[in-house]
Amino acid sequence: MTVNRTVFGRPLRSVAFDVFVSAVVALLAVAGVVAQPGGWQATLTGAAMAVALLFRRSHPSAVTAVVAVLALLQVVAGWGPLPYDIAVLIALYSVVKYADRLRDGILAGIVAVVGVLLAALQNDQQTDGGVAWWATAIYFGLVTGAVWLVGLNVRTRRLYVLSLEERAATLEREREAEARAAVAGERARIARELHDVVAHSMAVMIVQADGARYMLDRDPETARAAVKVVADTGRQALEEMRRLVGVLREEGRPEAAAEAGAAAEPEGAGVAADPEHRRLALTELPALLDRFRAAGLRVRYAVTGEPAPLPPGLELTVYRVVQEGLTNALKHAGVGAGVEVTLAHEPGAVLVAVVDDGRGRTVVGPAPSGGHGLVGMRERVAVYDGSLTAGPRLAGGWQVRARLPLPSSAGTEVVAA
C-alpha cells in the first residue's frame, strides 16, 4: 500500500521540490555577491525572491507580485539582469499553472513584457550599445513567452485531469446510489409479496378454524385434522412473517449494494414487474416458459428428484429466479439461444439452474418482464438463506444457479375441513 506523506498539509515531494528550487535561486544570489552589481544588497534581494518561491504553489499570485516588486527595485537600482532573476520566470510559470483564475496569469504576462523592455534597455546601457536593445528585448521576450506558454499547457492538462477525476468520483457516487435504490426497491417488492403470502396463510387458517369449529361435534377426526392444518399453517406463516420483518429491517450495506450494482450491469437490470398482482406458484412455470419460447428462446425444462410441497414464499422465489434468468438470457444471449432450465429437488434443498449457450442473435423486440437482474435474485435468495452463483461459462453463454434450503415446515399440506 502506498503511503502519501505530507508536510504542512502538502505532499512531501512537492515541498522537497520547492525547497530545491528556492535553494538554487539562493545559491545563485550568494555566488555572485562579490562580482555582481549591488553586492550584498543584490544578494539579499535574490534571497528574498528565493524565500517567496517557497509558497509558489499555495499563493502563486502573491508570490508573483512579490518577485515582480523585487525585480522592479533591482531595475531602479541599476543592477541589471542577474543570474538569480530566473526566479521571475519561475514565478511567472507558477502563477499561470496554479492560479485559480487565468486572469492572474495574463496580468503577470503583461507585467513580464514591461519587465522585458526595462531589462533590455538597462542591459543596453550597461554594455554601451554593444548589442541592440531590441535584439535583447526579442531574446528576453522569446524566453519569457516560452515559459508562459509552457505554464499554460501544463495548466490545461492539470485542469483536464482534475475534471476527469471529479467526473469519475461523480459517476462512482451515482453508481452506488443507483445500486442502493435498486436494492431498496427490490426489498420493498419482496416485502409486498411476502405480505401477500402471509395474508394467504392467515386466510387458510381462518377457513380451517371455522371448519374445525363446525365439525367438532359431528366429525372429531376431521376437526382434529383441520386444527393440525391450522397449527402447521400458522407456523409457516410465522416463519414467513419473520422473513418479512427481516427484509424490512435489514439495512443495505454500501459494499453489498455496490457489488450487487456492479454485478447487475452485465445482466441488464431494471425491467418491469409482472402486470398481474397475484401470488405466483410453480404450477405457472410452464406458462412462463411458453412466453419465452414465443419470444424466440429454445427452452428445455427438466425436473429431477421427488417434488415436495414448498412454502408459497419459496415457490415465489424459485419462480422469480427462473423468470429473471430467462429474461437475462433473452436480452444478452439473444433470440434463438438455447436455454436449459433445471429444477432439482433434494432432501434438504431445491436447486434452480438457468443455463444458456449464448448463441443467439440481437433481440428486435422487448423481452418479457422480469425483476432487477442479479440484485433481485440475490436479495430473494438471501431471504431464505440460500446461495446464488452467476457468471459466464467456459463453453460460452451464461449460467445462473441457486440453492434454496427447505424450511422444516416445507412438507405441510393444506386440506379442506
Q: Are strands 10-11 and 6-7 parallel, antiparallel or unpaired?
A: antiparallel
Q: How far is CA 160 from CA 56, 138, 156, 166, in A?
A: 21, 33, 6, 10
For 29-86, the pLDDT digits (tens) are 888 766 777 778 888 988 999 999 999 888 899 999 999 999 888 888 877 778 888 9
What secondary structure letter does DSSP report for 384?
Answer: T
Q: Please name every residue paired with 402 in a beta bridge, in sequence order, or none if there are none.
A: 352, 388
Beta carbons within 8 Å of 15's beta carbon, 6+ residues apart: 7, 8
Nearest residue to 120 via CA among 70, 148, 147, 85: 85
CA-only gyration radius of the chain, Å: 39
Confirm if 380 and 321 have CB atoms less than 8 A apart: yes
Give percent of the chain above pLDDT 90: 15
Q: How far is CA 80 from CA 42, 50, 121, 244, 321, in A?
A: 10, 18, 9, 85, 83
For 398-411, the pLDDT digits (tens) are 899 999 998 764 44
Residue-range domains of the chain with CATH: 6-131 (no CATH), 178-405 (3.30.565.10)
Answer yes or no: pTM beyond 0.85: no
What average pLDDT is seen over the chain?
77
pLDDT of residue 246: 63
